[in-house]
Amino acid sequence: ETGVTQSPTHLIKTRGQQVTLRCSSQSGHNTVSWYQQALGQGPQFIFQYYREEENGRGNFPPRFSGLQFPNYSSELNVNALELDDSALYLCASSLGVRGGAEAFFGQGTRLTVV
Amino acid sequence: DAKTTQPTSMDCAEGRAANLPCNHSTISGNEYVYWYRQIHSQGPQYIIHGLKNNETNEMASLIITEDRKSSTLILPHATLRDTAVYYCIVRVDQTGANNLFFGTGTRLTVIP
């Protein structure tokens, strides 16, 4: 158990719909990162939030957006879903820019787009 | 961040040391070597990281060659629970899970 919880655990959506995934970070952690993991691939970095601001982004289009709340929990929103968005979505929490290297990942949300 | 090369898969007998190699021949002087693992159906787990010197913690040891072009993660006494995909990552910063490039990793199978 890492203390990072994600909801829901599984989700099925239709192409073109919008989805919101949620992440509660480990107590005391102020930084949340989101990753997408397609089947058989390693996780790919989507973006990171630190103190409610996005402070890093990977190669994902603007329809992938996020939020971080004052309690450091976070949401990942994906608009106009495509079939290729089917993946495991992982969030990770850490102590932020001066907190060091260790990060704790949640169990992920399995999104299926049909 | 530098690219890494890892074998696709490896087997190890239970109770023996598992030595997982990683090549990072284009690593820069300010890039760290990280190891994460992902057990089936779970999120990745941080194992260890280092810059130049060898490192050891309760999970594993990290041996980095003098020229820093390769490294080896050592699990001293592998158990069945160590069966996982192991990712070697190199990057400049040390900020948690920011912009980690996982690649495809090495699938380690520990055999009873």
pLDDT in tens, A67-93: 999 999 999 999 999 999 999 999 999
Residues of chain B with pLDDT > 70, as a percent, come to 96
B66 pLDDT more than 90 = yes
Q: Quote the pLDDT of residue B91.
A: 84
Residue B34 contacts residue B76 (beta carbons within 8 Å): no
Cα–Cα distance measured from residue A39 to residue A29, given in angstroms and rounded to the nearest whole number? 29
Answer whether residue B54 shows pLDDT above 60: yes
Report in angstroms the alpha-carbon separations of A24 from A3, A49, B42, B75, B107: 8, 13, 16, 31, 29
Interchain contact A102–B (C-beta under 8 A): yes
- Put simply, whether B94 touches A (Cβ < 8 Å) is yes
Per the structure block, which two tokens stand in for B100? Answer: 């980690």
Residue B36 clears pLDDT 80, i.e. is over it:
yes
Spatial contact of B33 and B80, defined as CB atoms under 8 Å apart? no
CB contact under 8 Å between B98 and A42, yes or no, is no
Whether B46 sits inside 8 A of A102 (CB atoms) is: yes
Distance from CA of A82 to the nearest CA of B (A): 23
Contact A105 B96 (CB under 8 A): no
* Higher per-residue pLDDT: A1 or A89: A89
Is the separation of the CB atoms in A109 and A24 below 8 Å? no
CA B56 to chain centre: 12
CB within 8 Å: B100 and A106: no
Buried b (16+ CB within 10 A) or exposed e, A48-80: bbbeeeeebebeeeeebbbebeeebbbbbebee
What pLDDT is recorded for position A18? 98
In whole numbers, what is the pLDDT of chain B averaged over residues? 92
Percent of chain A exceeding pLDDT 70 equals: 93
Over the stretch A14-69, which tens digit does the pLDDT of each residue have?
999 999 999 999 888 889 999 999 998 999 999 999 889 998 899 999 999 999 99
